[in-house]
Structure 1
């Protein structure tokens, strides 16, 4: 016979929702809730209840809130808002790994919830695919706040987020061999899983934000073929704006350039510097001039459909061809400086568009 006991005189226990979570009905507020028994050693019970009550103060759109913390006959319980949705774990196991954009959107939501929690001194401690709920509106909600965090550091939550995203796009935990894909999301995941610790939070946030809505240049070219020279010139200007921030970027290549719905380009920050051989300058030096060679190779791919190769000729670049040839010079001194390159790209963009130069 189903158990019909009530907790604290108001939460009537109903059917199980998982291994340690049950549906309950709040007879005071007349709403469904989820309740979880906190199973901890007796000597840790008081500390666990204090930690749960700190988590109960957290309110964030992407965090399933803890509504109440109570102790019934010496056993602590969490009362949480009942959130509908399928867990990321169930979604992947039932169907297939998520597309990069959907996984990135989930990452944006979970990272926002974790950041808000960390700012208030709350560490989740148990982030995993089963605690990320995918809703019908496209949001992701992070559940599981309030359980003992085992005194882990906030950086451990970021590692667990990376492992969760790895599961989302690969269908398996990272184990000892994380996915070796070259796309920006997998590169970010590997950096977040690295023993040296995660990249700066702003790098993680910006990469996930952009991947959630934009498409990498290499994916656009693979799907649609070479781009018109005018569009490629505009991409070059967008990348130059990012390079103008100063310093050596070290990762200018099509997979690190995202295009938004209007075709505008944005160069992603890198968790770690490094380009593929086809986009690495001949001198292999960490200099702005090397970034410009990589930009030339990237624009070559965008307009010709492939990276530059010895003996290959430009067949689609049109008026953009001379600019690309200068960027791809083996002599760094012969490559245009950023300001000069910007003027040349703007001039070519006007010429291609038929405007007065």
Structure 2
């Protein structure tokens, strides 16, 4: 057992500089005071087999060069009585694991903000040739200001593949919103956050990094259209037409079948602008799936019509459901929701009609 006191009972020092103080939590990390820099630090013995010590020390010293706002910095690596030690930045906060277990799972926007921070930290590490290898809820610290920082750099990595870090990030985000690891059956749900997490956990590998980053960025600050309608009620036809234009532009830019146009995947920012989340893997809710069940642009347009129906009426479409609030948007929605794909407008026709309504000219 490690002794934390010197021969006379005084607090022990490492390298005649770091005065050891109280334990931090239940782990082996300990608070210390850096008498040279007059600051609190965290220290931990680097326990590895003797034959791996040199390699572990090399990796730990490499980690001292990693600088990022969402990384708990490794400040120093030293040998004390033949044992290697890490000296790390002291970050005041609670681990994600502690926060979820002692309170409750995080709301999606907060979990997405955690993902933004940790993904940014991992991207910086990977660019420097460093794989973390130990991303888990215990190594993600939540500060009082809401910033998430990633601890655990400087320890021997359990993997050499950056993709393993992304899988572990997804498992960590799953724990953040579900309160449990993903196991063999990740949580279901058609919302963009859970869809993204499941895609990142898929055996075929994660989606492109830019898709992951952009989706987390949006989810951290924007609200899904269905949540906006649930909170504020049906939206005015002009505003719904503007949302339709934004989604249509996204569909036209991709040029491919989206397969997930539905209110939960349409995100609204504080200014009311809409953004269609990329879908890592197709999957539309039944109420927003075209009757022909085909993977075509015309099917996406039907789903867009059903999404705009909910936005302006407050409920998903149903056979024979009346359009009581849609105003000038009603005939456009009727054509979009045609059971015959040939009866739906083209993208260019739809854009012209939505522009007219959004401008208040209809």
Give your verdict on TM over 0.5. yes
Q: What is the rounded CA distance, in whole Å, between the counterparts of 1:326 and 1:71 in structure 2?
A: 74
Partner of 2:8: none
Structure 2, gaps ≥5 residues long: 6-10
Once the two structures are superposed, residues 41-60 of structure 1 have per-residue CA deviations (whole angstroms, 9 ceiling, x without a partner) of 11111111111111111000
Out of 63, 83, 86, the position equivalent to 1:78 is 86
Aligned to 2:334: 325
Distance 1:244 1:139 in 2: 36
Q: Deviations 1:284-317 (Å, cap 9, x if unpaired)? A: 2221111111101110111112222112121111
1:104 alignment partner in structure 2: 112
Give the match for residue 89 of structure 1.
Answer: 97
Looking at structure 1, the residues matched to 188 and 119 of structure 2 have their Cα atoms a distance apart, in angstroms, of 23
**Partners of 1:263 and 1:119 in 2: how far apart?**
35
> TM-score, normalization: structure 1?
0.96
User: Do residues 128 (structure 1) and 129 (structure 2) align?
Assistant: no
Equivalent in the alignment of 1:174: 182
TM-score of the aligned structures, taking structure 2 as reference length:
0.94
Aligned residue for 2:203, secondary structure, equals: coil
1:296 aligns to what? Answer: 305
Whether 1:63 and 2:53 are equivalent positions in the alignment is: no
The answer to whether residue 247 in structure 2 is matched with residue 243 in structure 1 is no
| Residues 160-169 or 252-261, more deviating | 160-169
Corresponding residue for residue 14 of structure 2: 7
1:346 Cα deviation (Å)? 1.1
| SS of structure 2 residue aligned to 1:78 | strand
Q: Residue 244 of structure 1 aligns to a residue in which SS?
A: helix
Contact 2:17–2:36 (Cα < 8 Å) also in 1: yes
Unaligned runs of 5+ in 1: none
Give runs of ≥4 in structure 1 deviating > 3 Å. none
Q: Report how many residues are paired.
A: 353
Contact preservation (8 Å) 2:163, 2:206: yes
Determine if the alignment matches structure 1 residue 48 to structure 2 residue 56. yes
The equivalent residue for 2:224 is 216
The alpha-carbon deviation at position 2 of structure 1 amounts to 5.3
Contact 2:190-2:284 within 8 A present in 1 as well: no
Per-residue CA distance 1:42-96 (angstroms, 9 max, x = gap)? 1111111111111111000110110011122221111101111111111112211
User: What residue in structure 2 maps to residue 267 of structure 1?
Assistant: 276
The question of 1:256 aligning with 2:265 is answered yes
What SS is found at the alignment partner of 1:261?
coil
Looking at structure 1, the residues matched to 41 and 344 of structure 2 have their Cα atoms a distance apart, in angstroms, of: 64
The reply to whether residue 163 of structure 1 matches residue 167 of structure 2 is no
DSSP-derived class of the 2:85 partner: strand
2-structure distance, mates of 1:184, 1:314: 28
Distance 1:13 1:7 in 2: 7
In the TM superposition, residue 221 of structure 1 has moved relative to its aligned partner by 1.6
Q: How many Å apart are 1:35 and its aligned residue? A: 0.7
Aligned mates of 1:240, 1:223 — CA distance in 2: 24
Q: Residue 342 of structure 1 corresponds to which residue in structure 2?
A: 351
